[in-house]
Amino acid sequence: MRFPAFLASAAVLALSPSLGLSSMVWAQTPDPLPKTINVKTNIYYFQGEQALAEALKRTPNTGRAKNIILFIGDGMGINSVTAGRIFAGQQRGLDGASYELSFDKLPYSGFSKTYSTDRLVTDSANGISAITTGVKTINGAIGVDGTVVGPRCRGSLKARVPTLAEEAKLAGLSAGVVTTAGITDATPAGAYGHTPYRGWRADSDMTAEAIENGCIDLARQLVEAPAAIRMDVALGGDLTKFVPDNDPRKGNRADGRDLTAEWLKQTPTATYVTGAKDLAAIDPTKTDHLLGLFADGDLPSPVDTAEHYDVPTLDEMTAKAIDVLAKNPKGYFLLVESASIDKWHHQNNAYHALTDVDELSKAVQVAMDKTDAADTLIIVTADHSHGLVLTGGSTREEPIMGLARNHGKDSLDGNGQPYTTLSYATGPGGPKGGPGRSAPTEEEATSPGYTQPALVYTDSAQHAGEDVPVYAGGPQAHLLSGTIESSFIYQVMAHALGFK
């Protein structure tokens, strides 16, 4: 049913006791004879009826999961979801406020408490570690419990906690990780890594104490893991962490090892690719062990793809990973991270950050299309939030990236200056060494390279500590509702796979 545009405009409605539920009246009207409209022609009432009908048909799937796909929107707090939804809709020429991201359609949702054992506000290391191991740890640590002490190796080997990906492998399933960051960054390392310090990504990053006490870097952990727990698919960036410093590819490994060559020697069907075209050409029926490193560090943003034409998108990597892993009749576990939400929030660049919320939505849609909700548990959540603020002042047709405007007229702050709809609590957009920034123009504020204003200046925006959303569908998804600990997500996934 298509509704006239005026029915979708904001109107204050109230139920009329005299007319019953079949009619509504304007809450405040100078007309002594209230004007009535049939609720069946009101778009919000109609949508509500449809949503209720769908909800009443919903039956929790209490069966076992064959597959689990865990999506992490790094730094994707609830404001990032809301602003990302609006931005995605507006980019398509649609009403942003009513637009739906793919994961908005998952039937169950809740909130996750993300704090670490030592901080009110977590980093990505503890954030993902709690989700993949069921155990919270200190900020900066991955795959170990909270007894570790910062970047110190001594004693940390005893603190190791297995990840769900490793447990899945031991149970005969396949496992993989996909990210738009470097593959040794904190979140992807949450699938396979165990370290008291997330910064030990290549051997050249490590301290003498760490090496003396038996710790190894995360790139080696990915490649050297015993076959019984080794990842079958790893797609992302970080080429420099895998090749030596005397290599033409300009790596930064000090041990002289080429880990990409070692990956290829591990199985007869191992493959290594460095570009989108090569990834697309992979025949999943002939590949069981896939490594893709598509950048020296993090992958570039899709906003800048004109400069980086041979870099795969998150949905393309997700599709290929599923194709390779799904050959296992026992099932698989896949961790997918949209990392650049966080990377660009740190720079107070909302345009790039919210573009990657949309990229996450596309990847989730691919996973929905390629799997069966009857046997695949899909979870979408975040490791932590960011201090993004969506401020009032704009009417719905105004671009969320621009100035706060009322039907084209600038809304003004208490100083008589225009202000942006989006801003941050901390970051490089804050005032530095003097008075605040001058007011931007609309053209400046809507530019992809614009740095949104921040309240407090820091070189890199700080994470935020509010609970983050969790969306789920498939076997045992109904358990992910209400307000939960981030570590509880592991319990649900392990239960769904029959490990509990």
CA proximity to 398, closest of 98, 87, 100: 87
CA proximity to 338, closest of 367, 313, 312, 360: 360
| Whole-Å CA distances, 221 to 85, 143, 260 | 37, 12, 13
Sequence-ordered alpha helix ranges (H) in 151-217? 164-170, 186-189, 208-212
Annotated catalytic residue: which of 109, 112, 124, 129?
124
Beta bridge partners, 109, equal 471
Structure tokens at 314: 């998150």
On the 0-12 / 13-18 / 19+ scale of CB atoms within 10 A, 40 is exposed
On whether the CB atoms of residues 346 and 461 are closer than 8 A, the answer is yes
Contacts of residue 437, defined as CB under 8 A and 6 or more positions apart, other chains included, come to: 429, 431, 453
CA distance 360 to 458: 27
- Burial string for 146-156 (b: 16+ CB within 10 Å, else e) reads bebeebebeeb
| Residue that is written with structure tokens 């929030």 in the block | 345
Q: Residue 137: count other Cβ atoms within 10 Å of its Cβ.
A: 26
On whether the CB atoms of residues 463 and 123 are closer than 8 A, the answer is yes
Q: What is the strand order of the sheet 422-427 is part of? A: 388-390, 422-427, 454-457
Q: HEC profile for 156-184? A: HHHHECCCHHHHHHHCCCEEEEEEEEECC
Amino acid sitting at position 27: A
Structure tokens at 195: 């370290």
Is 124 an annotated catalytic residue?
Answer: yes
On whether the CB atoms of residues 401 and 363 are closer than 8 A, the answer is no
Active site members? 124
